[in-house]
Structure 1
Amino acid sequence: MKVIIVEDEEAHLELMERAIRRDSPDVQIYPFVEIESCLNSIDRIDPDVIITDYMLPGMDGLEFLEELRKKHRGIPVVVTTGQGDENIAVRAMKLGAGDYVVKSGDFFSLLPSIIKNVVHQEELKKALRESQALYEREKNKLNSILASLVTPLAVINGDTRIDFANPIFERIFGKELIGKPCQAIFDQSSDACFQCLKAVENRQTGSVEFEDVNERIWQVTISPGIEKEGDILKAVLIFQDITERKAYEKQLQHLSEKMIRVQEEERGRISRELHDELGQVVAALKFDAAWLKGHLSDENIEVKERLQEMCALIDGSLDAVRRISSGLRPGILDDMGLGAAVEWYALEFGRRSGLECVTLIDLPERRLAGHLETGIYRIVQEALTNVARHAKASMVTISMKHNKETLFVQVVDNGMGIEPSKIRSPLSTGLAGMRERCEILSGTMEIKGDPGKGTQVKVQVPVMYR
């Protein structure tokens, strides 16, 4: 760093040099006792900062600032004085001084930080000037960029008419749409048109999808509120062709449905084998161990104790088989239906977790479709798992009700409430699985968290029967 000091009092000059070098030993200091010689040397030295006394022979600090700004704008200046004067301070700052400092008792100890501060301020100003220049350059490129975009783009004016469109938009949708209401873009897709107009009216960013007359599917991103030279452009519409993506998504959904169906079938098969094969074998072992224990004489105390331990282990194994078998695929879901299965699971969940678990079940008398029962059961199961792991709740309520067309499922806890950032987080795999199952059932899922009051999971799916 290069520092120019203009000071006619030798003692003050020496103290300032010491203070600066103590903080920055490698600094280059150029002292001057009068302003004229300083002005003549600025180009040669190219300083990072200038420190000048206000009262100097031949020219005061304010006059120095005026001369300096004529030829050397951008060099930060610190004006020092023995006695503070508010009027002089204001004039100095208006002339561009980075700081106006009184030589008080702690002046010399504070000087290094004062220098760093004014240098930093000038760096920020320089960055701002460069940013403004860059903005002007980029703004000048905007029209050419819009013309070269491969993505259709249109601008909607104040009365929702198409005010501007780039060449690719005109080529795909027709140049004749310029000047017409934006409804003309969406053709017969009235829902997409309504959503677009609503976003524009509310000046909110939004996204809509529609299918054109050529059966291409488009996603339209709406960015409202561009203001330029007093004219308000209602919105910019950017179009993306998502026809192929939608086809891939449909294929992925079919694959996901198949994977979940195969997974449930495999779970059911393993559950039955555990229950029917391994469960029976372990039960037989228990009976045999009990028989042996009953036929031993009282003299075989050690053997009886060992058999008692064996019986306890077998009981634990039986419980584990039942628990694992039910976890894989509870038989009650296939035998008695969704309502009974959810009530049973809620009872088990409450016993294991210690939470009060309330069920309010109102389902049709007729059995629901198998894949619907399985999907809703798994969604409820995952929702309760999340409550146990994250909610810090004392109570959870599961409610199910229906009308002729829709099944409504709700899981509500009184815990800490889920954070909004976690609802759509890619790390929330459990929620993603719930959402995927819901989409497979052609339903919707809404998750809301109220800090300190709990979380609500609401699911709506079309009713389907066996």
Structure 2
Amino acid sequence: MNQDWLSAFRIPEPLPVHTLLETVTIIIFASVFIVCWNAFGEIRKKSSVILAVAFLCTAILGFLHAITFQGMPGFSSPEDMHKSLSFWLVSRSIIATTLLGLALDPEDSPITQLQSYGVLLAGLLATCAWGILIFIFPDWIPLTFLPGKGQTVFKLGCELGLIAINTLTALLFYRHSLRFQSDKSAEHLHIERTPLFLASSMMAMSEVYFSIYAETSDVNVVIGHAFQLFSAIAIYRSMVAVNIHTPYAHLAATSVNLAQSAEELKLERQRLSRMIDTAIDGIITVDDHQNIILANPAAALIFGYELDDLIGRSLNILIPDRHRHAHRKHVHQFGETGITRRKMGTHFEDFYVTGCRASGEEFPIEASIAHQFENGHRFYTVIFRDITDRKVAKEKMAKYHEQLSQLSATLQSIREEERKHIARELHDDLGQLLAALRMDLSLLQRDAMFADKNKQTIHSMDQLILTAITTLRRIATDLRPRALDEGGLFFALQTLQKDFSQRHKIDCELIADETQLILDDVRSTAIYRIVQESLTNVARHADASYVQIEFQRNNEQLRFTIADNGKGIDEQDMSKSQSFGLVGMRERIKAMNGEFCVSSPAGEGTVIEIQLPLQAKQSA
């Protein structure tokens, strides 16, 4: 009804008016991009990024529409008007679909810097593609303007579609505004819906007026631009609300959180102060000049000072004179290494960590030290305890252990000497008597008359004497093998190997060289007893069919292993106090400063590994 009446009005110079209104709109859309993109800094929301990129692309396409509008310098042909209207439709479509997507109330989420720049790049590339398509291949797009006839059916159809989209968007924003007024908690996108409702409505009205003009001088174009400008202002107002008001709301929430954090920090400091005051270990903090700035009551009690007497004084008053220079150097080196904590004085032999009481008495300390930077200054905190009682106890234990080791070595030596003596007595005395008795019995066998009458008795006596001699030799060998004294360790081990295989029907292999086993009597005896005890354990417990004894020697040590293919040994059996055989072997190895290891690989068989250091004279 108004078209004929409004069409009667003409704008004498339409180009400046159109350019002014379009330029202001482009500036507002560019401002929307700047606000949406920069309001959150590096932490952006997905909706904010999409809105920013959409309005940037709209501003670019609007600029291209403005410069190709009919009447602009260099753009006056009907084809240029077609290009201008094509840019117009693309830019309006981007705004309409963006507002519709926002009206659908999507779930918002944070987006990374890389993702946000990816969206921006994709939008700019798409805008460049549209620009190239419209400028270079305008024929690929249906005609939007015909000379003398004005807008085409395609143009009018697009306008009607945009009117429908903007009307739907306005309706959705109106419903949102009613819902969020009653339930603020339901609004996860902090956007004022009322300005967007007005913006969508005015965008629909602008499309109505843009669809009914026939000439560029028609007043309907000016009215459409006016509605478009008011819509842009409403959009800008809403975007300012979402992207400027929200960060300030975050700042307010942050202020509340900071206040809560300050209160929690205060409570934490009070709790820490109580913990320090009630700790039974001493705690001292010094600055980089070694002046005490914090000490707890336990530290003052340990050193025999009043607590107030320690604060502000040099740490040197707590360190013996002879250690002060070294201590200062040590602390400086510790601070330069970058290690934040270190344990000191964990062994009572470490007399470097020594404290000095107010009375001048020195005492050992176990301590851990840590350092940290605060405001460009370095501070050291030491947590320590007096280990005088522990030091005394450890010294006593070490002394007792040394005495027990000496006693064990002495007992082993006495035992070997006693065995050697008993074996010699059995072999030299009792063995000689049995041999003489058998010789006498042999003389009796030569008397034919006596032998015929007592043949069976004499034969039985001969067998008993022979058995007694064999048993006597075995006992003497077990006590002290003569082969060890007469032929050396290698010959003694060969004899032991053969005897073990014959007696227990277990295959035993000795891998050694005679030159490897030239050792002094003490070591030879100890190694022989270890091998003997190991074979005894194999026969008693292993259920093995094969044993291997292997020796390896260099200039520094002798290493040998005893391995069987039996059922193995349990972990708990290795440390049983009742395992006297293993205990005896360990004591022998310890007396020679060696290393002893028992293992059962995969629960199959047992392996005993022994390493003995060799002195130069023995290696030679």
- TM-score, normalized by length of structure 1? 0.52
Partner residue in 2 for 1:211: 349
| Structure 1 residue 213: Cα displacement | 2.5
Structure 1 unaligned segments of length 5 or more: list them.
1-140, 155-162, 177-183, 188-196, 202-206, 223-234
Amino acid across the alignment from 1:257 = A
Deviation at 1:428, TM superposition (A): 1.0
Q: What code does the residue aligned with 1:386 have? A: N
Equivalent in 479, 491, 497 of residue 340 of structure 1: 491
**2:561–2:610 contact (8 Å) kept in structure 1:** yes
2:424 is aligned with 1:288: no
In structure 2, the residue matched to 1:159 is none
Q: CA shift at 1:260, angstroms?
A: 1.1
Give the 5 Å matches for 1:413-428.
413-428=564-579
- 1:400 lines up with 2:551 in the alignment: yes
The secondary structure found in structure 2 opposite 1:364 is helix
Show CA shifts across 1:203-223 (max 9, x none): xxxx9756223799999999x
Residue 447 of structure 1 contacts residue 456 of structure 1 at CA under 8 Å; is this kept in 2? yes
1:120-131, aligned counterparts within 5 Å?
none
Distance 1:347 1:167, change over 3 A: farther
Counterpart of 1:39 in structure 2 is: none
Q: Distance in 2 between matches of 1:320 and 1:301?
A: 29
* Shift, 1:356, TM fit: 0.5
Gaps spanning 5+ residues in structure 2: where?
Answer: 1-273, 285-293, 305-314, 320-326, 331-338, 355-362, 369-382
In structure 2, how many angstroms separate the alpha carbons of the residues matched to 1:344 and 1:220? 55
Matched letter for residue 367 of structure 1: I
Q: Paired residue for 2:610?
A: 459
Q: Is the 8 A contact 1:410 1:458 kept in 2?
A: yes
How far apart, in 2, do the equivalents of 1:429 and 1:219 lie? 39
Q: Any conservation in 2 of the 1:380–1:411 contact (CA below 8 Å)? A: yes
Identical columns (%): 32
CA distance in 2 between counterparts of 1:416 and 1:325 reads 32
**RMSD between aligned residues:** 4.3
Q: Tell me by how many angstroms 1:389 deviates.
A: 1.0
**1:294-373 aligned within 5 A:** 294-297=446-449, 301-362=452-513, 364=515, 367-373=518-524
Aligned-pair CA distance for 1:407: 0.7
Q: In the alignment, residue 423 of structure 2 is paired with which amino acid?
A: S
Task: Report the number of matched residues.
Answer: 280
Residues 256 and 325 of structure 1, relative CA distance in 2, 3 Å threshold: same
Q: Tell me the distance in 2 between the aligned counterparts of 1:373 and 1:442.
A: 15
User: Among 444, 447, 461, which residue is 2:598 paired with?
Assistant: 447
Residue 302 to residue 459, structure 1, CA distance change in 2 (3 Å)? same
2:454 counterpart SS class: helix
Equivalent in 386, 389, 394 of residue 537 of structure 2: 386
Note the alpha carbon deviations across 1:114-155, whole angstroms, 9 max, x for none. xxxxxxxxxxxxxxxxxxxxxxxxxxx9989961x8xx999x
Q: Tell me, what secondary structure is at the counterpart of 1:346?
A: helix
* Residues 349-396 of structure 1: per-residue CA shift (max 9 Å, x gap): 111111110000135368311111111111111111111111111101
Which position in structure 2 is the counterpart of 1:269?
Answer: 421
Q: CA deviation at 1:290?
A: 1.6
Alignment deviations for residues 150-177 of structure 1 (CA, whole Å, 9 cap, x no partner): xx999xxxxxxxx99975996599968x
State which structure, 1 or 2, has the greater radius of gyration over its C-alpha atoms: 2
The 1:307/1:153 distance shift into structure 2, 3 A limit, reads farther
Counterparts of 1:438 and 1:270 in 2: how far apart (Å)? Answer: 25
Q: Deviations over 1:399-429 (max 9, x none)?
A: 1111101010110000111101111111211
Q: Distance in 2 between matches of 1:451 and 1:328?
A: 36
Query: Which is richer in helix?
Result: 2
TM-score (norm 2): 0.40
Q: Name the aligned partner's letter for residue 471 of structure 2.
A: A
Question: Retained in 1: the 8 A contact 2:501–2:507?
Answer: yes
1:212 alignment partner AA? D
Supply the AA of the counterpart residue of 1:249: H
The structure with the largest strand share of the pair is 1
Call closer, same or farther: CA 1:169–1:405 in 2, change over 3 Å: farther
Which residue pairs with 1:179 in the alignment? none
Shift of 1:301: 3.7
Give distance in 1, aligned partners of 2:581 and 2:397.
25
Shift of 1:244: 1.9
Partner of 1:131: none
Partner of 2:585: 434
